[in-house]
Amino acid sequence: MKRIAVVTSGADAPGMNAVIRAVVRSADAVDVAVCGIMHGFAGLVAEKFIDLDARAVSGILHLGGTMLGSRTSAEFETEEGRAQAAANLRAAGCEGLIVIGGDGSLRGAGDLSLESGIGVVAIPVTIHNDLVGTDFSIGFDTAVNTATDAMDRIRDTAESHRRLFFIEVLGRWSGWQALYSGVAGGATEVVVPQQDPDPDGLRERIQASFALGKRYCLVVVAEGGEQRSVYELAEQTTRGTDFDSRVTSLGHIQRGGKPLMRDRVLAAVLGDEATKALLEGADQVMVGVRNGDLVRVSFEEALSGRRVPEALMTVMGRLAR
Ligand code: F6P
């Protein structure tokens, strides 16, 4: 291959720019040119392509967001739109595509590959950490650290006023953000989407915690479960009690910001590996690091559904006293 393309797709996450840089520089090292696709899959259909060389990706390693932009695309969801995207790639001389993103990005890229025969390799970048085949996705660590830092700040107020706080974190249906920030931030309870949130049980356990002498309680709630919103959950849990409670929803604060060391290093390693994989002819595979080893897994495996680790849930419950 003499020329490949790279696209960032779906939600931005800390480390996306570091991945773009790694892909471009790895390709450059073996004299392969890189075409950057602007605005995600939308730019593939609309042919918004730019040339990226080693200098074009200088000074972006530490920046949040994505220099290429990312946008949803109704056209790309159709077969005609994907056929147009493939034709645009071929016309630009791109022989393969590296897609940087989460589950939706893998699905879109998989369809493109199946229908057009263009090889695609994915790099897992999502704060959800919900892809099978890599211990951690790029962006997860930084976003958890942001939530943990927020919890440390909220704890100051909670402790000063003897309050109960419900803290909603991002991560949609995955629950990983909630569990990891709950453990790292010393939460009393973590509510993940896979569980029935059970406000009555929650109320009893919080009452027991205060009765044991706790001066405050932090309950971390994952967004997007079957459950009600964090506001409803807070209302139902505190009904009939004299808890002094508050709700904080962290929202997009967790998506932005400069990537921390773990995400930067993972970005370097996986960006390099994805480029190698694509040049070696891999198709519809996602690269990852599992138990310290580089791996390539099929899109099918990557998308097979990932639950939060039960063992860590158990540890969380044991320590929250
Ligand atoms: O997928 C990442 C995520 O931040 C989710 O946690 C959240 O539900 C969603 O994106 C928000 O989407 P948007 O940025 O389009 O509002």
175, 290 contact by CB (below 8 A): no
320 Cα–ligand 1 center, Å:
29
Q: Cβ(115)–Cβ(278) under 8 Å?
A: no
Residue 226: predicted pLDDT: 58
Q: Mean pLDDT score of the chain, rounded to an integer?
A: 96
The residue contributing the CA closest to ligand 1 atom 10 is 11
What is the spatial distance between Cα 264 and Cα 64, in angstroms, rounded to a whole number? Answer: 11
- Tell me the DSSP string of 196-248: ---HHHHHHHHHHHHHTT-S-EEEEEETTSSS--HHHHHHHHHTTS---EEEE
**Region 14-40: what's the mean pLDDT?**
98
Of the candidate ranges 25-34, 110-119, 193-202, 224-233, the one whose mean pLDDT is the lowest: 224-233
Q: Are 24 and 6 in contact (CB under 8 A)?
A: yes
11 Cα to the center of ligand 1, angstroms: 6
- pLDDT single digits (tens) 37-53: 999 999 999 999 999 99
Nearest CA to ligand 1 atom 16: 252
- Cα(247)–Cα(218) distance, rounded to whole angstroms? 10
Q: Please state the φ and ψ torsions of residue 317, each to the nearest 5 degrees.
A: -65, -40
- How far apart, in whole angstroms, are the C-alpha atoms of residue 174 and residue 168? 13
Identify the pLDDT of residue 39: 98
Q: Is pLDDT of 287 > 80?
A: yes
Q: What's the confidence (pLDDT) of residue 227?
A: 57
Give the residue-averaged pLDDT of 176-195: 95
CA 34 to centroid of ligand 1, rounded, Å: 29
Let me know: does 36 contact 52? Beta carbons within 8 Å: yes
| Cα 242 to ligand 1 centroid, rounded to whole Å | 34
DSSP string, 142-190: HHHHHHHHHHHHHHHHHHHHT-EEEEEE--TT--HHHHHHHHHTT-SEE
Percentage, residues of the chain above pLDDT 90: 94
- The residue contributing the CA closest to ligand 1 atom 15 is 11
pLDDT bracket for residue 197 (50, 70, 90): confident
pLDDT computed for residue 225 by the predictor = 59
Q: Over pLDDT 70: what percentage of the chain?
A: 99
Lowest mean pLDDT, pick from 70-84, 95-109, 146-160, 188-202: 188-202
The size of the chain, in residues, is 321
**pTM of the predicted model over 0.85:** yes
Rounded-to-10 torsion of CA 141, 146, 151, 154? 180
Which amino acid is present at 296? R
How far is ligand 1, taken at its centre, from the CA of residue 94, in Å? 30
**Digit-coded pLDDT (tens) for 158-182:** 999 999 999 999 987 889 999 999 9
Q: How far is the C-alpha of 289 from the C-alpha of 263, rounded, in Å?
A: 12
User: Where does ligand 1 bind, in terms of residues with CB under 6 Å?
Assistant: 11, 170-172, 223-224, 255
Atom 1 in ligand 1: residue holding the nearest Cα:
11
